[in-house]
Structure 1
Amino acid sequence: MKRLRNHLIGVDQGDVSLFADFEDGGEMWTGTGPRERRKKVTFSEAYRAAPAVHVSVALSDMDSGPHQRAEAKAENIGHDGFELVFRTWGDSRVARIRLSWLAVGELPYADDWQVD
Structure 2
Amino acid sequence: MKKFQTHPIGIDQGEEVLFSDFADGGVMWTGEGPRERRVSVRFSEVFRSVPIIQIGVVLWDVDTSSALRAEVQAEDITPEGFNAVFRTWSDTRIARIRVSWTAIGDVSHEDDWDIS
Interval containing the TM-score (normalised by the shorter chain): over 0.9
1:65 Cα deviation after fit? 1.6
1:111 Cα deviation after fit? 3.5
* 2:7–2:109 contact (8 Å) kept in structure 1: no
TM-score computed with the length of structure 2 as normaliser:
0.94
- Residue 104 of structure 1 pairs with residue 104 of structure 2: yes
Cα deviation digits, residues 18-71 of structure 1 (max 9, x gap): 111000000000000000000100000000000000000000111002311000
Alignment of 1:42-53 (within 5 A): 42-53=42-53
- Residue 13 of structure 1 pairs with residue 16 of structure 2: no
1:7 Cα deviation after fit? 6.0
Residue 4 of structure 1 is matched in structure 2 by 4
- How many residues align? The count is 116
One-letter code aligned to 2:42: T
Structure 1's unaligned 5+ residue stretches are: none
Residue 83 of structure 1 is matched in structure 2 by 83
How far apart are the structure 1 equivalents of 2:72 and 2:65? Answer: 20
* 2:12–2:103 contact (8 Å) kept in structure 1: yes
1:6 Cα deviation after fit? 5.8
Helix, strand or coil at the partner of 1:11: strand
Residue 41 of structure 1 is matched in structure 2 by 41
TM-score computed with the length of structure 1 as normaliser:
0.94
How far apart are the structure 1 equivalents of 2:4 and 2:11? Answer: 12
One-letter code aligned to 1:64: T
Helix, strand or coil at the partner of 1:28: helix
Structure 2's unaligned 5+ residue stretches are: none
One-letter code aligned to 1:114: D
Alignment of 1:53-72 (within 5 A): 53-72=53-72
Helix, strand or coil at the partner of 1:29: helix
How far apart are the structure 1 equivalents of 2:23 and 2:66? Answer: 22
How far apart are the structure 2 equivalents of 1:107 and 1:94? Answer: 37
Identity %: 53
How far apart are the structure 2 equivalents of 1:31 and 1:66? Answer: 13
Q: 1:112 to 1:6 in 2, by over 3 A?
A: closer
